[in-house]
Amino acid sequence: MTVALAAAVRTLPRGPGLAYEPKFDGHRLVIVRTDRAVDGVVLQARSGRVVTAAFPDLAAAAHQLPAGTVLDGEVVVWHAGRTDFALVQRRAAVASAARAAVLARTLPASYAAFDVLELAGLDLRARPYERRRALLVDLLLPLGPPLQPVPMTTDPELAETWYETLPASGIEGLVVKRMDEAYPAGRRSWRKLRHTNVRDAAVVGYTGTARRPLALVLVLPVGDETPLVSSPLTAPLRTEVAAAVATRALGAAGAGTVTGTITAIGLGEVPFHPLDPPLTAEVRHTSTRHPPPEVLRLRTDL
């Protein structure tokens, strides 16, 4: 399923016929409810990867949907009153059904749905957003959590209030859509307004050695979930990361063993060590077309 995309803007778009939604800090997720009785739910990441096994709680909830339903939205995990991207990444990275079941109980996921693409076998993508939104609300409100429609307003003043007040809950900004627009699969027709290019990222690995890490392998809360290599760490950050790595359990290969490579801008294929569970870092980054993300600090306050 090819999803719609959004282009960044610097100011809040205004004008007639616009809708405003909060942009949640999570992973893009498409829910496909098929007509199979037992395994009739498929959860697909934006990259196309099937992640159903990682989110058994959402898969179970999606069985309440009518067969032939496809939803577009964001999977989030709430912690201490705000969404936590690192915890979503932790949920998505599990390798076993037993571990996924444990995390579903201890770190339950929520689904912030912002579009319905198919309903009871009827393809809705050519319908205007206004109609799809009404069908989405009618579908999900009777079900309740963890499947919920995102808030929406056509009032730019209320949208601006959301933009100013919701970041404390982990909301990144706003997504703006035209009420009369069909679903723009594969196109950057929607608009997104973010507060800043400083955000939290999941640290899923590091280059160098455990005692002297050189850079971090990051998954940002935007884009297609492709890991990126950060710019070189400063000396104080190397010390801080080394201490944090020493307390973390590494992947199955064990400490000090390189289990993969990643393509770094200007460096080609670079070996790295995975981290499981991930750390969280505050990074400065605009997009994958710009220089590598700069790590500002580790987040030890989460």
Residues acting as catalytic residues: 23
Strand partners, 21: 175
In angstroms, rounded to a whole number, what is the distance separating the alpha carbons of residues 223 and 188?
12
Nearby residues of 161 by Cβ (< 8 Å), 6 or more positions away: none
- Tell me which amino acid residue 182 is: A
Distances (CA, A) of 115 to 22, 109, 110, 138, 272: 13, 18, 15, 12, 37
Strand partners, 155: none
- Do 150 and 158 form a contact (C-beta atoms < 8 A)? no
Residues counted in the chain: 302
Distances (CA, A) of 270 to 103, 114, 155, 279: 31, 37, 48, 20
In angstroms, rounded to a whole number, what is the distance separating the alpha carbons of residues 198 and 200?
7
Strand partners, 191: 7, 176
